[in-house]
Each structure stands twice: as C-alpha cells, then as structure tokens.
C-alpha cells in the first residue's frame, strides 16, 4: 500500500525513459508504425464522436432516437470484438488489422459521398464494428511489438 513516504521519480529518470523509448522507436520501426496507426485510427474515432449526430439529422424531420442509435452502435462494437475473436482463429493479426482499417475507411467515406441518412446510419454501424475489432487487435499488437518495460512511456 502506498503511504506517500517513498521517493518520487526524478526528472533524470523520466528523461532517461523517454530517451530509451525514442531509441526503441528508431531501432524498431514497427513500434513507431504501431503508434502512428493507433493515433490515426483513434483520431478518426473522435471525429466520428463529434459528427455522427449531425450526419443523422435532417431538416424538417424530427430528431432521430439518439439513445437507440447509440445502443445500436454499442451492440455493433461488441459484435466487432466477437468478429475479431472469430477471424483470428484462421487469419493473421496483421491481415485482420488491414481489413479492419480498410473497412473503417470505406465506412467513413460513405457519409462524404452520400447524403442519404439511412446509408450514413449503416455506414456508422459498420464503423462501430470496426472499432470493436480495433481495440483487441491493437491491444494484441502493442503487446507483441512494444517492450513491456516501456509500454507506459510509449
């Protein structure tokens, strides 16, 4: 149990771990690529979070049932997680990740090229399934690629 009597980490040990993390990222480019994919995909998730409600609203039509829509998104996220478990039984992690990122990209493109609210809704459901596949995929990949002693730093 932590009673607060221990020594705090010094700034030199913090900068040392940052230096070590930078060295690992330069020596093992897959660590850098993993971080880049993680950052870009999660940025797309935040963009989705802010934009899904306006994309499903139409002028002159009552607002859709956002609570039910959000529930459907969460169900698709759970289904995506189950799909990941199923697909990794006969596909490599990298291939599942590639298909997940490709499907997420297509799902994000549909609202850009389509003005149809129903089509946007189904694209968003697909994206949420991709989100459900992303989290276990990225967790597994980080566990394989990032050294354990540097996970919190990287």
Task: Please report whether residue 75 resides in a domain.
Answer: yes
Task: Please report whether residue 70 resides in a domain.
Answer: yes
Q: pLDDT digits over 74-128, tens only?
A: 999 999 999 999 999 999 999 999 999 999 999 999 999 988 999 999 999 999 9
Residue 18: its pLDDT value, please? 81
Task: Please report whether residue 4 resides in a domain.
Answer: no
Does the pLDDT at position 45 exceed 70?
yes
Rounded to two decimals, the pTM is 0.83
* DSSP conformation letters of 35-104: HHHHHHHHHHHHHHHHHHHHHT--TTSPPP-HHHHHHHHHHHHHHHHHHHHHHTTTS-HHHHHHHHHHHH
Query: Domain range spanning residue 69?
Result: 12-56+64-150
Does the pLDDT at position 154 exceed 90?
no
Task: Please report whether residue 92 resides in a domain.
Answer: yes
Task: Please report whether residue 6 resides in a domain.
Answer: no
Task: Please report whether residue 7 resides in a domain.
Answer: no
Give the number of domains in the chain.
1
């Amino acid at each position: 149990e932590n009673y607060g009597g221990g020594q705090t980490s010094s700034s030199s040990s913090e900068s040392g771990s940052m230096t070590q993390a930078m060295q690992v990222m330069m020596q093992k480019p897959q660590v850098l690529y993993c971080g880049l994919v993680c950052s870009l995909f999660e940025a797309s998730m935040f963009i989705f979070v802010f934009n899904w409600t306006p994309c499903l609203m139409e002028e002159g039509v009552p607002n859709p049932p956002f609570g039910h829509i959000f529930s459907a998104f969460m169900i698709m996220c759970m289904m995506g997680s189950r799909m990941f478990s199923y697909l990794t039984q006969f596909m490599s992690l990298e291939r599942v990740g590639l298909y997940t990122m490709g499907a997420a990209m297509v799902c994000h493109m549909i609202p850009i090229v389509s003005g149809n609210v129903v089509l946007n809704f189904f694209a968003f459901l697909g994206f949420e399934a991709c989100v459900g596949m992303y989290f276990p995929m990225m967790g597994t990949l980080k566990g394989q690629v990032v050294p354990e002693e540097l996970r919190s730093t990287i």
